[in-house]
Amino acid sequence: MLPWNVHPPARFTGPAFFMAVAFLLAASILPPAACAAPLSDHQATLSALSDVQAAIAEIVGADQSYSTDKKVYYRASQRAINALEGTRGPEYVAAAGSAGDAAGAIGHIDSLLDRKETPVWAPVLDSAEANIRAAIAHLADARHAHELMDYDIAVSRALTYLLVARGGPADIGAFGGLEGVLANTVLGVPDGATIADGCAEPTAAPSYGVHGGYLAWVAVPAGEGTHQLAESAGEQSVIIRNGMILLPTAAAPLVAKECNSHAQVRPSSPSQATATATLSQPAKTTASGADSAPPALYTKAQAEAGAQVFASKCALCHGANLQGTAAPSVAGTDFLSTAQHNGWTLEVIRYLVFNDMPFNAPASLSSTEYADVLAFLLASNCYPAGDKPFPTADDPGFANVKLGPVPGSHPGKNQFGVCPDG
């Protein structure tokens, strides 16, 4: 695979472009599955990600077809299982075909973990594999479901596990998943690319700054032309300096600390950079135990409007106090610890609510009603209100907002309950 494809006639299309093309490109230029030579670590990781994405696309596609034919859904679950497990998995059924390749996501991850040393990315891949196996178990249940409702429950569970396994480029921990290791560790360095010292400033571009197994930055030449990255670096800002575009990764601060030198990966003030373009700023993470204040993600007025939506569209199954009746609780310590345990981010819950809820009429509310009801759910889980409304469109930063008990809050007296101030 070519690490950099430069198309001279095309013009430089800006930072958003990197984010947009990154994964499309990664998925489209994978070598064929039946390749005789073993894949490089980089290729194996890309292939695992591509299998997970294919499985997600398969089940989301069946969901959105609104078909009433059970066979459509069973086939989608089986094809997703095949993509995840590969031909050697116990649940593999050749007749269904596969949305992925022969090794499957599990096969690729196993090949990466099959070594004596423990690279920095190993724990992340371990948990990605555990999440993929959990997804397979739910998909296998879906295949045996007699009712569409049972199918939907199993599949949406599988989907939450897959979204965590996929992860996001802005997280270097376990919840970063496959996208996280590609964006922030040596696994993201394309074969044959120039590797430089991640503690120092780049001296040539294209190059990848690596230290201790982490990827601190990617440098791209700033000249004319379209530069396609192998995958998204998860960068929040782009620095243009010395004729190079420098993309610091989410691992940059950690690397800078480890380097214990004066070499700076990020400029200390914006004026040092010739130009700094800010991409969508991911909201602050709210990993529990962290002292940082949780982000303000909605307005009070919105949460009040959301309470009305909840009462008319959701309370039937989730209970007037969100305590859960026919369906799981959606607020309180039980919900929050499940969310924390499963590594659910706001992206996962937002996706689930916008696309799958109300369970008996998915995607039937207006985007304003969905935004309002999410504001209400956040309020009920003791997340603070602010001046900025919860958006009707998805925000990439939501992949970094981990749901869990908000430090110092007391969500209700009983194990469910509603946040007293919500």
Q: List interacting residues with ligand HEC (CB under 6 A).
A: 153, 156-157, 313-314, 316-318, 326-328, 330, 338, 349, 352-353, 357-360, 365, 373
Tell me the three state secondary structure of residue 245.
strand
Query: DSSP of 123-139, one letter per residue?
Result: HHHHHHHHHHHHHHHHH
Residues 214, 254 contacting (CB under 8 angstroms): yes
Closest approach of Cβ 338 to ligand HEC, in Å? 6
Report phi then psi at 405, rounded to 5. Answer: -55, 130
Amino acid identity of 183?
A: A
Closest approach of Cβ 343 to ligand HEC, in Å? 13
Output 153 or 233, the one with its CB closest to ligand HEC. 153
Both tokens of 153, joined, read: 């429950």
Rounded CA gap, 380 and 377, in Å? 5
Output 45 or 380, the one with its CB closest to ligand HEC. 380
Closest approach of Cβ 334 to ligand HEC, in Å? 9
Closest approach of Cβ 316 to ligand HEC, in Å? 5
Q: Which residues contact 143 (CB under 8 A, 6 or more apart)?
A: 74, 77, 78, 81
Output 47 or 380, the one with its CB closest to ligand HEC. 380
Nearest to 239 by CA among 269, 195, 260: 269
Nearest to 231 by CA among 176, 283, 281: 176
Both tokens of 417, joined, read: 């309950």
Closest approach of Cβ 214 to ligand HEC, in Å? 34
Output 276 or 355, the one with its CB closest to ligand HEC. 355
Output 319 or 396, the one with its CB closest to ligand HEC. 319
Q: Quickly list H helices, 65-121.
A: 70-85, 104-113
Amino acid identity of 285?
A: T
Output 255 or 357, the one with its CB closest to ligand HEC. 357
Nearest to 209 by CA among 252, 164, 260: 252
Rounded CA gap, 410 and 415, in Å? 10
Output 188 or 362, the one with its CB closest to ligand HEC. 362
Give the DSSP H or E segment for 49.
helix 41-64
Output 221 or 328, the one with its CB closest to ligand HEC. 328
Which residues on adjacent β-strands are paired with residue 211?
214
Closest approach of Cβ 140 to ligand HEC, in Å? 16
Closest approach of Cβ 322 to ligand HEC, in Å? 9
**For the chain, first and last CA: distance in Å?**
52
Closest approach of Cβ 399 to ligand HEC, in Å? 17
